[in-house]
Homo-oligomer: A and B are copies of this chain.
Amino acid sequence: MKNTAEKLQSDKYQKIIQAATHVFALKGFYNSKVSDIAEEADVADGTIYLYFKNKDDILISIFEHSMDTFIGTVENTLSTLQDPIEKLHQFIFLHLELVQNNQDVAQVLQIELRQSSKFMKEYAASKFLDYLNIVANLLEEGQAKGIFRKEINPAIVKRAIFGAVDEMALEWVLMKKKKYTMEEVANQICIMLTEGLKK
């Protein structure tokens, strides 16, 4: 197998990642055959093993690769903003958009990863925490600026916010006929989270 740098640039590596993401999203990890992925990627079965250690490794690689992209994208955009509320709104919108634009990846991350082996769950956890902490930082900043309530605990609420947004994203992806615009959905969640449900 080539070294990591070469692999990432390799045409075949990318093709396999794309194919696997699609196949996993469609059928689920356990119902996907390595030969399905090979066919979709238009390579021989054996070729996959030149780029990946085994089937699990494909899943891990999808995760690594896309989480880095996700985290990078979100961090970059938020760093250009000052207002915590604006940041929160952007986070919500970006997450929905990322999921929307990478539906296969999103489904794999949300669904397939969760049921993998303990090892994978733990492995995945650290990258996931990085993502969650974007929210935590935004909340702390808001508190520091006197905009957000001091009594909320960012460490707790970051996860609730992520859950709210991610569940919306999941529905959004699975919904065939979109009943709302994404902006509408983002706004609703943003209002709920910032202003509260109470009048």
Contacts and interface: CB of A to CB of B under 8 A. Distances in A.
Contacts of A11: none
A32 B188 CA distance: 41
Main DSSP-derived SS at the A contact region: helix
Interface in A48-89: 85, 88
Given A114-B111, A148-B199, A196-B195, A165 B160 contact: yes
Interface of A: 28-31, 85, 88, 110-112, 114-117, 139, 142, 146-149, 151-153, 155-157, 159-168, 170-171, 179-180, 184-185, 188-189, 191-199
A195 B198 contact: yes
Contacts of A185: 156
